[in-house]
Amino acid sequence: MVKKVVLAYSGGLDTSVILKWLQDQYHCDVVTFTADIGQGEELEPARLKAEKLGAKEIFIDDLRQEFVRDYVYPMFRANTIYEGEYLLGTSIARPLIAKRMVEIAAEVGADAVAHGATGKGNDQVRFELGAYALNPAIQVIAPWREWDLNSREKLLNYAEKHGIPVERHGKKSPYSMDANLLHISYEGGILEDPWAEAEESMWRWTNAPEKAPDQPRYLEITYAHGDPIAVDGEALNPAQLLAHLNTVGGEHGIGRLDIVENRYVGMKSRGCYETPGGTILLKAHRAIESITLDREVAHLKDELMPRYASIVYNGFWWSPERRALQTLIDQTQRLVNGVVRVKLYKGSCTVVGRQSQESLFDPRIATFEDDAGAYNQKDAEGFIKLNALRLRIEKRLQG
Protein backbone atom coordinates (compact mmCIF):
# COMPACT_ATOMS: atom_id res chain seq x y z
CA MET A 1 0.00 0.00 0.00
CA VAL A 2 1.35 3.39 -1.04
CA LYS A 3 -0.34 6.48 0.34
CA LYS A 4 2.19 9.10 -0.70
CA VAL A 5 5.08 9.02 -3.17
CA VAL A 6 7.88 11.47 -3.97
CA LEU A 7 8.43 11.70 -7.72
CA ALA A 8 11.65 12.96 -9.33
CA TYR A 9 9.94 15.39 -11.69
CA SER A 10 11.35 17.32 -14.65
CA GLY A 11 8.09 18.65 -16.08
CA GLY A 12 8.65 16.87 -19.37
CA LEU A 13 6.38 14.40 -21.12
CA ASP A 14 7.58 11.27 -19.33
CA THR A 15 7.43 12.49 -15.74
CA SER A 16 4.18 14.40 -16.31
CA VAL A 17 2.55 11.19 -17.54
CA ILE A 18 4.08 9.36 -14.56
CA LEU A 19 2.55 11.89 -12.14
CA LYS A 20 -0.94 11.20 -13.46
CA TRP A 21 -0.30 7.47 -13.81
CA LEU A 22 0.76 7.20 -10.16
CA GLN A 23 -2.43 8.94 -9.07
CA ASP A 24 -4.54 6.56 -11.16
CA GLN A 25 -2.72 3.29 -10.54
CA TYR A 26 -1.72 3.69 -6.91
CA HIS A 27 -4.51 6.07 -5.81
CA CYS A 28 -1.93 7.99 -3.81
CA ASP A 29 -0.81 11.54 -3.24
CA VAL A 30 2.16 12.58 -5.37
CA VAL A 31 4.82 15.01 -4.16
CA THR A 32 7.07 16.29 -6.93
CA PHE A 33 10.76 17.06 -6.55
CA THR A 34 12.69 18.98 -9.19
CA ALA A 35 16.43 19.42 -8.73
CA ASP A 36 18.26 22.41 -10.14
CA ILE A 37 21.75 21.04 -10.77
CA GLY A 38 22.58 23.51 -13.49
CA GLN A 39 20.68 22.05 -16.42
CA GLY A 40 20.09 25.58 -17.67
CA GLU A 41 16.31 25.29 -17.98
CA GLU A 42 13.62 27.49 -16.48
CA LEU A 43 12.08 25.44 -13.66
CA GLU A 44 8.99 27.51 -12.94
CA PRO A 45 7.02 25.81 -15.77
CA ALA A 46 7.60 22.51 -13.98
CA ARG A 47 5.99 23.96 -10.86
CA LEU A 48 2.98 25.25 -12.79
CA LYS A 49 2.49 21.93 -14.57
CA ALA A 50 2.78 19.97 -11.31
CA GLU A 51 0.17 22.23 -9.74
CA LYS A 52 -2.18 21.71 -12.68
CA LEU A 53 -1.76 17.95 -12.47
CA GLY A 54 -2.68 17.91 -8.78
CA ALA A 55 0.65 17.40 -7.05
CA LYS A 56 0.13 17.34 -3.29
CA GLU A 57 3.34 19.27 -2.61
CA ILE A 58 6.04 20.69 -4.88
CA PHE A 59 9.74 20.92 -4.12
CA ILE A 60 12.14 22.77 -6.43
CA ASP A 61 15.60 22.82 -4.88
CA ASP A 62 18.71 24.67 -6.01
CA LEU A 63 21.39 22.01 -5.56
CA ARG A 64 24.05 23.48 -7.85
CA GLN A 65 26.52 24.35 -5.13
CA GLU A 66 26.12 21.06 -3.29
CA PHE A 67 26.37 19.13 -6.56
CA VAL A 68 29.76 20.56 -7.52
CA ARG A 69 31.21 20.86 -4.01
CA ASP A 70 30.18 17.48 -2.58
CA TYR A 71 30.00 15.25 -5.65
CA VAL A 72 31.91 16.61 -8.66
CA TYR A 73 34.96 17.85 -6.72
CA PRO A 74 35.46 14.66 -4.66
CA MET A 75 35.19 12.63 -7.87
CA PHE A 76 37.72 14.84 -9.65
CA ARG A 77 40.20 14.47 -6.78
CA ALA A 78 40.46 10.88 -7.99
CA ASN A 79 40.95 11.98 -11.65
CA THR A 80 37.95 9.84 -12.43
CA ILE A 81 37.12 8.70 -15.96
CA TYR A 82 35.13 5.62 -16.95
CA GLU A 83 36.54 3.30 -19.62
CA GLY A 84 39.32 5.75 -20.37
CA GLU A 85 37.14 8.61 -21.62
CA TYR A 86 33.79 9.32 -19.94
CA LEU A 87 33.83 11.96 -17.18
CA LEU A 88 30.67 10.57 -15.54
CA GLY A 89 28.53 13.68 -15.87
CA THR A 90 25.21 11.84 -15.59
CA SER A 91 26.39 9.22 -13.10
CA ILE A 92 27.59 11.68 -10.47
CA ALA A 93 24.30 13.62 -10.38
CA ARG A 94 22.13 10.63 -9.48
CA PRO A 95 23.27 10.02 -5.88
CA LEU A 96 22.48 13.62 -4.99
CA ILE A 97 18.99 13.38 -6.49
CA ALA A 98 18.41 10.08 -4.70
CA LYS A 99 19.57 11.59 -1.41
CA ARG A 100 17.20 14.55 -1.69
CA MET A 101 14.28 12.31 -2.70
CA VAL A 102 14.75 10.22 0.42
CA GLU A 103 15.06 13.34 2.58
CA ILE A 104 11.84 14.77 1.17
CA ALA A 105 10.08 11.44 1.65
CA ALA A 106 11.00 11.60 5.34
CA GLU A 107 9.88 15.24 5.59
CA VAL A 108 6.44 14.67 4.07
CA GLY A 109 5.83 11.16 5.41
CA ALA A 110 5.90 9.44 2.02
CA ASP A 111 5.93 5.65 1.70
CA ALA A 112 7.75 5.54 -1.62
CA VAL A 113 9.85 7.35 -4.21
CA ALA A 114 9.43 7.15 -7.97
CA HIS A 115 11.60 7.96 -10.98
CA GLY A 116 11.30 8.12 -14.75
CA ALA A 117 14.33 6.04 -15.67
CA THR A 118 13.73 3.25 -18.15
CA GLY A 119 14.35 -0.43 -17.56
CA LYS A 120 17.17 -0.43 -20.10
CA GLY A 121 19.41 2.20 -18.57
CA ASN A 122 21.86 2.75 -15.75
CA ASP A 123 19.88 5.49 -14.02
CA GLN A 124 17.29 3.11 -12.56
CA VAL A 125 20.15 1.32 -10.80
CA ARG A 126 21.73 4.55 -9.56
CA PHE A 127 18.50 6.04 -8.22
CA GLU A 128 17.40 2.88 -6.49
CA LEU A 129 20.75 1.83 -5.02
CA GLY A 130 21.01 5.33 -3.57
CA ALA A 131 17.49 5.23 -2.16
CA TYR A 132 17.93 1.82 -0.56
CA ALA A 133 21.35 2.71 0.86
CA LEU A 134 19.92 5.81 2.55
CA ASN A 135 16.60 4.30 3.63
CA PRO A 136 16.48 0.49 3.53
CA ALA A 137 12.71 0.51 4.16
CA ILE A 138 11.79 2.85 1.29
CA GLN A 139 9.60 1.57 -1.54
CA VAL A 140 10.64 2.40 -5.12
CA ILE A 141 8.21 2.70 -8.01
CA ALA A 142 9.65 2.54 -11.54
CA PRO A 143 6.73 3.00 -13.97
CA TRP A 144 8.77 2.09 -17.05
CA ARG A 145 9.09 -1.42 -15.60
CA GLU A 146 5.34 -1.67 -14.95
CA TRP A 147 3.33 0.06 -17.64
CA ASP A 148 2.85 -0.62 -21.36
CA LEU A 149 3.44 3.00 -22.44
CA ASN A 150 6.67 2.02 -24.15
CA SER A 151 6.77 4.57 -26.98
CA ARG A 152 6.51 8.33 -27.39
CA GLU A 153 3.28 7.89 -29.36
CA LYS A 154 1.66 5.98 -26.50
CA LEU A 155 2.82 8.59 -24.01
CA LEU A 156 1.36 11.39 -26.13
CA ASN A 157 -1.94 9.55 -26.46
CA TYR A 158 -2.07 9.03 -22.70
CA ALA A 159 -1.31 12.70 -22.13
CA GLU A 160 -4.04 13.79 -24.53
CA LYS A 161 -6.58 11.43 -22.99
CA HIS A 162 -5.89 12.71 -19.47
CA GLY A 163 -5.52 16.39 -20.26
CA ILE A 164 -1.79 16.54 -19.55
CA PRO A 165 -0.34 19.68 -21.19
CA VAL A 166 2.38 18.83 -23.72
CA GLU A 167 4.51 21.32 -25.61
CA ARG A 168 4.02 20.49 -29.30
CA HIS A 169 5.25 23.64 -30.97
CA GLY A 170 8.71 23.75 -32.47
CA LYS A 171 10.96 20.90 -33.56
CA LYS A 172 11.68 18.37 -30.85
CA SER A 173 15.25 17.19 -30.53
CA PRO A 174 15.63 13.62 -31.80
CA TYR A 175 18.00 12.89 -28.93
CA SER A 176 17.54 11.85 -25.34
CA MET A 177 19.49 14.49 -23.43
CA ASP A 178 20.62 15.03 -19.86
CA ALA A 179 22.29 18.21 -18.66
CA ASN A 180 23.80 19.54 -15.46
CA LEU A 181 26.69 21.80 -14.49
CA LEU A 182 29.22 19.12 -15.40
CA HIS A 183 27.98 18.04 -18.82
CA ILE A 184 25.28 17.53 -21.40
CA SER A 185 24.72 14.11 -22.94
CA TYR A 186 23.03 12.88 -26.11
CA GLU A 187 21.67 9.42 -26.91
CA GLY A 188 19.24 7.99 -29.46
CA GLY A 189 18.41 9.16 -32.97
CA ILE A 190 21.17 8.57 -35.49
CA LEU A 191 23.57 7.92 -32.62
CA GLU A 192 22.11 4.42 -32.40
CA ASP A 193 24.23 3.69 -35.47
CA PRO A 194 27.82 3.69 -34.12
CA TRP A 195 29.14 4.35 -37.65
CA ALA A 196 27.13 7.54 -38.13
CA GLU A 197 28.86 10.80 -37.28
CA ALA A 198 26.96 13.08 -34.94
CA GLU A 199 25.35 16.04 -36.67
CA GLU A 200 27.03 19.36 -36.00
CA SER A 201 23.63 20.84 -35.14
CA MET A 202 23.35 18.44 -32.18
CA TRP A 203 26.08 20.07 -30.09
CA ARG A 204 24.81 22.84 -27.79
CA TRP A 205 27.63 23.88 -25.48
CA THR A 206 30.74 23.83 -27.63
CA ASN A 207 31.93 25.38 -30.87
CA ALA A 208 33.28 23.03 -33.49
CA PRO A 209 37.08 23.14 -33.07
CA GLU A 210 37.50 24.43 -36.63
CA LYS A 211 35.17 27.33 -35.80
CA ALA A 212 36.77 28.14 -32.45
CA PRO A 213 38.77 31.39 -32.06
CA ASP A 214 42.04 31.58 -33.96
CA GLN A 215 43.83 32.92 -30.88
CA PRO A 216 44.47 30.61 -27.90
CA ARG A 217 43.12 31.37 -24.45
CA TYR A 218 45.31 30.92 -21.38
CA LEU A 219 43.82 30.19 -17.96
CA GLU A 220 45.46 29.94 -14.55
CA ILE A 221 43.62 27.63 -12.15
CA THR A 222 44.45 27.75 -8.44
CA TYR A 223 44.15 24.60 -6.33
CA ALA A 224 43.84 24.12 -2.58
CA HIS A 225 43.85 20.60 -1.13
CA GLY A 226 43.03 19.15 -4.54
CA ASP A 227 40.05 21.41 -5.32
CA PRO A 228 40.04 24.36 -7.73
CA ILE A 229 39.28 27.61 -5.92
CA ALA A 230 40.11 30.38 -8.40
CA VAL A 231 40.55 31.12 -12.10
CA ASP A 232 42.98 33.82 -13.21
CA GLY A 233 43.30 34.93 -9.62
CA GLU A 234 39.56 35.42 -9.07
CA ALA A 235 38.13 33.35 -6.25
CA LEU A 236 34.98 31.50 -7.33
CA ASN A 237 32.66 29.16 -5.49
CA PRO A 238 32.43 25.64 -6.96
CA ALA A 239 29.29 26.24 -9.06
CA GLN A 240 30.60 29.55 -10.40
CA LEU A 241 33.99 28.10 -11.25
CA LEU A 242 32.63 25.14 -13.20
CA ALA A 243 30.09 27.32 -15.03
CA HIS A 244 32.85 29.76 -16.00
CA LEU A 245 35.08 26.99 -17.35
CA ASN A 246 32.12 25.57 -19.28
CA THR A 247 31.63 28.91 -21.01
CA VAL A 248 35.29 29.50 -21.82
CA GLY A 249 35.97 25.89 -22.73
CA GLY A 250 32.88 25.68 -24.91
CA GLU A 251 33.94 28.76 -26.83
CA HIS A 252 37.23 27.05 -27.70
CA GLY A 253 35.67 23.70 -28.65
CA ILE A 254 36.87 21.84 -25.55
CA GLY A 255 35.24 18.69 -24.21
CA ARG A 256 33.39 16.91 -27.03
CA LEU A 257 33.27 13.15 -26.71
CA ASP A 258 31.74 10.35 -28.81
CA ILE A 259 31.96 6.88 -27.23
CA VAL A 260 30.39 3.44 -27.05
CA GLU A 261 30.26 2.51 -23.38
CA ASN A 262 29.36 -0.62 -21.45
CA ARG A 263 26.25 -0.10 -19.37
CA TYR A 264 25.98 -1.81 -16.00
CA VAL A 265 22.81 -3.60 -17.13
CA GLY A 266 24.82 -5.44 -19.80
CA MET A 267 24.33 -3.68 -23.12
CA LYS A 268 26.60 -1.40 -25.08
CA SER A 269 25.37 2.14 -25.65
CA ARG A 270 26.63 4.95 -27.88
CA GLY A 271 26.59 8.40 -26.35
CA CYS A 272 27.95 11.84 -27.10
CA TYR A 273 28.96 14.25 -24.38
CA GLU A 274 30.05 17.84 -23.92
CA THR A 275 32.10 18.40 -20.77
CA PRO A 276 34.20 21.52 -21.37
CA GLY A 277 34.82 22.59 -17.77
CA GLY A 278 35.38 19.05 -16.57
CA THR A 279 37.89 18.35 -19.33
CA ILE A 280 39.91 21.40 -18.30
CA LEU A 281 39.76 20.48 -14.60
CA LEU A 282 40.88 16.90 -15.21
CA LYS A 283 43.95 18.11 -17.12
CA ALA A 284 44.75 20.79 -14.56
CA HIS A 285 44.32 18.51 -11.54
CA ARG A 286 46.66 15.88 -12.94
CA ALA A 287 49.17 18.64 -13.64
CA ILE A 288 49.18 20.01 -10.09
CA GLU A 289 49.42 16.45 -8.74
CA SER A 290 52.41 15.81 -11.01
CA ILE A 291 54.56 18.16 -8.92
CA THR A 292 52.99 17.69 -5.48
CA LEU A 293 52.33 13.94 -5.16
CA ASP A 294 54.91 11.32 -4.34
CA ARG A 295 55.46 8.90 -7.20
CA GLU A 296 54.08 5.81 -5.46
CA VAL A 297 51.05 7.70 -4.15
CA ALA A 298 50.31 9.00 -7.64
CA HIS A 299 50.67 5.52 -9.13
CA LEU A 300 48.47 4.01 -6.43
CA LYS A 301 45.77 6.57 -7.24
CA ASP A 302 46.02 5.67 -10.92
CA GLU A 303 45.59 1.98 -10.08
CA LEU A 304 42.55 2.64 -7.90
CA MET A 305 40.88 5.15 -10.23
CA PRO A 306 39.25 2.63 -12.63
CA ARG A 307 37.67 0.87 -9.65
CA TYR A 308 36.45 4.18 -8.25
CA ALA A 309 35.06 5.11 -11.70
CA SER A 310 33.14 1.84 -11.95
CA ILE A 311 31.72 2.34 -8.47
CA VAL A 312 30.38 5.76 -9.46
CA TYR A 313 29.16 4.65 -12.90
CA ASN A 314 27.34 1.63 -11.50
CA GLY A 315 25.52 3.61 -8.82
CA PHE A 316 27.41 2.66 -5.66
CA TRP A 317 28.23 6.20 -4.51
CA TRP A 318 26.75 5.51 -1.07
CA SER A 319 28.57 2.20 -0.67
CA PRO A 320 31.19 1.52 2.03
CA GLU A 321 33.83 0.82 -0.63
CA ARG A 322 33.37 4.25 -2.23
CA ARG A 323 33.57 5.96 1.15
CA ALA A 324 36.72 4.01 2.00
CA LEU A 325 38.37 4.93 -1.29
CA GLN A 326 37.31 8.54 -0.84
CA THR A 327 39.04 8.68 2.54
CA LEU A 328 42.27 7.48 0.98
CA ILE A 329 41.98 9.83 -2.00
CA ASP A 330 41.20 12.86 0.16
CA GLN A 331 44.18 12.13 2.39
CA THR A 332 46.45 12.31 -0.66
CA GLN A 333 45.20 15.80 -1.48
CA ARG A 334 46.47 17.61 1.63
CA LEU A 335 49.44 19.13 -0.21
CA VAL A 336 47.91 19.35 -3.68
CA ASN A 337 48.11 23.12 -3.73
CA GLY A 338 49.30 25.54 -6.38
CA VAL A 339 48.55 27.02 -9.78
CA VAL A 340 48.25 25.38 -13.19
CA ARG A 341 48.34 27.28 -16.48
CA VAL A 342 46.48 25.74 -19.41
CA LYS A 343 46.20 26.72 -23.05
CA LEU A 344 42.88 26.30 -24.86
CA TYR A 345 43.06 26.18 -28.63
CA LYS A 346 40.64 24.74 -31.17
CA GLY A 347 39.46 21.74 -29.18
CA SER A 348 42.67 21.03 -27.27
CA CYS A 349 43.50 21.76 -23.66
CA THR A 350 47.25 21.72 -23.02
CA VAL A 351 49.02 22.20 -19.72
CA VAL A 352 51.80 24.76 -20.20
CA GLY A 353 52.79 25.54 -16.61
CA ARG A 354 52.48 24.43 -13.01
CA GLN A 355 53.85 25.75 -9.71
CA SER A 356 53.42 25.01 -6.02
CA GLN A 357 55.06 25.78 -2.69
CA GLU A 358 54.68 22.04 -2.00
CA SER A 359 56.39 21.08 -5.25
CA LEU A 360 58.54 17.93 -5.15
CA PHE A 361 60.24 18.96 -8.38
CA ASP A 362 63.86 19.82 -7.51
CA PRO A 363 65.54 21.68 -10.39
CA ARG A 364 68.97 21.16 -8.81
CA ILE A 365 68.58 17.41 -9.21
CA ALA A 366 66.60 17.37 -12.48
CA THR A 367 68.88 19.75 -14.39
CA PHE A 368 70.94 18.66 -17.40
CA GLU A 369 73.50 21.26 -16.42
CA ASP A 370 76.05 21.06 -13.59
CA ASP A 371 74.11 20.05 -10.47
CA ALA A 372 76.97 20.89 -8.07
CA GLY A 373 76.91 17.38 -6.62
CA ALA A 374 73.20 17.28 -5.79
CA TYR A 375 72.92 13.91 -7.55
CA ASN A 376 75.65 11.29 -7.70
CA GLN A 377 75.30 9.61 -11.07
CA LYS A 378 77.51 6.69 -9.95
CA ASP A 379 74.69 5.60 -7.61
CA ALA A 380 72.67 4.58 -10.66
CA GLU A 381 75.03 1.68 -11.46
CA GLY A 382 74.21 -0.32 -8.34
CA PHE A 383 70.54 0.57 -8.63
CA ILE A 384 70.39 -0.83 -12.16
CA LYS A 385 72.35 -3.98 -11.29
CA LEU A 386 70.08 -4.80 -8.37
CA ASN A 387 67.01 -4.39 -10.55
CA ALA A 388 68.60 -6.51 -13.27
CA LEU A 389 69.57 -9.32 -10.90
CA ARG A 390 66.45 -11.45 -11.37
CA LEU A 391 66.58 -10.93 -15.14
CA ARG A 392 70.18 -12.07 -15.30
CA ILE A 393 69.49 -15.13 -13.15
CA GLU A 394 66.54 -16.16 -15.32
CA LYS A 395 68.55 -15.77 -18.51
CA ARG A 396 71.44 -17.85 -17.14
CA LEU A 397 69.07 -20.67 -16.19
CA GLN A 398 67.48 -20.62 -19.63
CA GLY A 399 70.91 -20.85 -21.25
Active site amino acids: 14, 94, 123, 176
CA count, 13 A, side-chain hemisphere, 75 = 30
Q: Choose among 147, 144, 128: nearest CA to 25.
A: 147
- Sequence-separated (6 or more) residues with CB below 8 Å from residue 24: 162
Phi, psi of 219 (to 5 degrees): -130, 145
Report CA dihedral (169, 42, 96, 260) to the nearest 10 degrees: 40
Helix spans in the chain (H): 13-26, 44-52, 64-67, 73-77, 94-108, 123-134, 152-161, 238-251, 276-292, 295-313, 320-332, 363-366, 379-398
Q: Give the distance from CA 346 to its chain's centroid.
A: 23
Distant-in-sequence contacts of 166-173, Cβ < 8 A, 24+ apart: 166/13, 166/16
Beta-bridged to residue 30, according to DSSP, are 5
DSSP 93: G
197 to 84, 202, 272, 274: CA distances (angstroms): 21, 11, 10, 15
CA count, 13 A, side-chain hemisphere, 329 = 24
**Pair 115, 6: CB distance under 8 Å:** no
Q: Tell the burial category of 310 from Cβ atoms under 10 Å away from its Cβ (0-12, 13-18, 19+).
A: middle
